[in-house]
């Protein structure tokens, strides 16, 4: 059961990473460098009989072109952060390491400060008492978290890495709201960062669009979720059969996202609106509710061979750890430890 759920999560992460459009901006405040990243789902909102879908037409050449540019932008982003972290490890980390050794600290050097089952406040407290740099970084994390939540964003993760000198914040919002939420909160975040311009730190603020909790997931145990998704798949196949469309089961993906929302990766039918109407009726009748709020991604070919897009499976495997953390605490996290010199 756990393996099947992990596969659902991995497929959702892979499909989502393949269809997101990335918008990034680097802003410097003295020693503090901030990377604002917005991950947009290029969807249109479709409402049918009271059921809302966020539809991504993966066969649209304009969207395929956007995804192609996104892969280049993300490569530049990763190169930038790697260069920054190498410089930090060489110039700043040795000073922090001396500070920690002087305080007789021995233990982990990275931790989740917020939110969910991976949070370890005891590590944060010990490091904060041993290092002024960590103390200031934790203070900044609190201020950023508070600012994002005040703007209506759903903060799901705050990760701090001491030896590489960065903080990564994961904040979510509904599809089609990422850029507007970013515009709304950026001024307030800039004010926070200006107060910490003396701190040598890379702050990565990720604002990601994702569907909110699905009625097929929220409040249910894993076995019930499995049954709901199986029933939804059957409704999908019925809708295809009634329209004379033959699909391979592997080309229909139902996945759970970071906010427990649903992603449906489907073969594009001849008439998408007619297909979604049928799915709405069948799911409401058979499952008691339609898949309201789901992201539906239509492709001309199957989910494993997306037109013009290469799924970054190696990155999706990393992303799934964060997604799975919302459902299960059994997530392995690689950590680096500082030990006392003998």
The 10 Å Cβ neighbour count of residue 140 is: 20
Residues 6+ apart with CB under 8 A from 84: 33, 165, 166, 202
* Residue pLDDT tens, the chain, 342 long: 444 444 444 455 555 555 789 999 999 999 999 999 999 999 999 999 999 999 999 888 888 888 888 889 989 999 999 999 999 999 999 999 999 999 999 999 999 999 878 888 899 999 999 999 999 999 999 999 999 999 999 999 999 999 999 999 999 999 999 999 999 999 999 999 999 999 999 999 999 999 999 998 888 888 888 899 999 999 999 999 999 998 888 888 888 888 889 999 899 999 999 999 999 999 999 999 999 999 999 987 654 444 344 433 333 333 333 333 333 322 334 456 666 544
Q: What does the pLDDT look like over 274-329, one tens digit per residue?
A: 999 999 999 999 999 999 999 999 987 654 444 344 433 333 333 333 333 333 32
Tally of residues, the chain = 342
CA atoms of 339 and 145, how far apart (whole Å): 31
Question: Could you tell me the two tokens for 115?
Answer: 């939110």
Residue 323 to residue 212: CA distance in whole angstroms: 13
What would the DSSP string read from start to end of 34-46? EEEEEEE---EEE
Structure pTM? 0.84
Non-local CB neighbours of 144 within 8 Å, separated by 6+ positions: 158, 167, 169, 189, 192, 203, 205
CA pair distance 68, 306, nearest whole angstrom: 12
Neighbours of 279 (CB within 10 A): 26
Burial-class residue 150 by CB neighbours within 10 Å (0-12, 13-18, 19+): exposed
Tens of pLDDT, residues 73-91: 989 999 999 999 999 999 9
In sequence order, the 6+-apart residues with CB closer than 8 A to the CB of 38 are 22, 23, 24, 178, 179, 182, 207, 208
């Amino acid at each position: 059961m756990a393996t099947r759920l992990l596969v659902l999560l991995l497929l959702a992460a892979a499909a989502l990473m393949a269809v997101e459009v990335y918008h990034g901006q680097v802003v410097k405040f003295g020693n503090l460098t901030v990377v604002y990243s917005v991950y947009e789902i290029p969807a249109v909102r479709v409402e049918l009989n009271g059921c809302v879908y966020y539809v991504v037409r993966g066969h649209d050449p304009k969207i395929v072109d956007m995804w192609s540019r996104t892969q280049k932008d993300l490569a530049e982003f990763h190169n930038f952060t790697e260069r920054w972290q190498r410089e930090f490890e060489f110039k700043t980390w040795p000073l922090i390491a001396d500070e920690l050794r002087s305080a007789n600290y021995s233990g982990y050097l990275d931790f989740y400060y917020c939110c969910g089952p991976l949070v370890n406040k005891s590590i944060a407290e010990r490091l904060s008492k041993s290092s002024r740099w960590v103390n200031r970084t934790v203070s900044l994390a609190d201020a950023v978290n508070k600012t994002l939540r005040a703007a209506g964003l759903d903060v799901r993760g705050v990760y701090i890495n001491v030896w590489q000198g960065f903080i990564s914040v994961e904040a979510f919002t509904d599809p089609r709201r990422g850029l507007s939420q970013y515009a709304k909160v950026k001024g307030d975040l800039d004010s926070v960062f200006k107060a910490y311009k003396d701190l040598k730190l890379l702050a990565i603020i990720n604002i990601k669009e994702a569907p909110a909790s699905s009625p097929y997931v929220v409040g249910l145990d894993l076995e019930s979720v499995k049954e709901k998704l199986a029933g939804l798949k059957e409704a999908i196949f019925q809708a295809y059969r009634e329209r004379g469309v033959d699909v391979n089961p592997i080309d229909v993906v139902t996945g759970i996202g970071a906010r427990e929302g649903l992603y449906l990766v489907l073969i594009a039918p001849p008439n998408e609106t007619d297909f979604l109407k049928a799915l709405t009726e069948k799911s409401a009748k058979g499952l008691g509710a339609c898949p309201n709020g789901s992201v539906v991604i239509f492709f001309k070919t199957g989910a494993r061979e997306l037109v013009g897009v290469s799924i970054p499976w190696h990155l999706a495997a990393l992303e799934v750890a964060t997604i799975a953390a919302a459902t299960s605490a059994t997530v392995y996290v690689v950590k680096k430890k500082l030990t006392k010199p003998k």
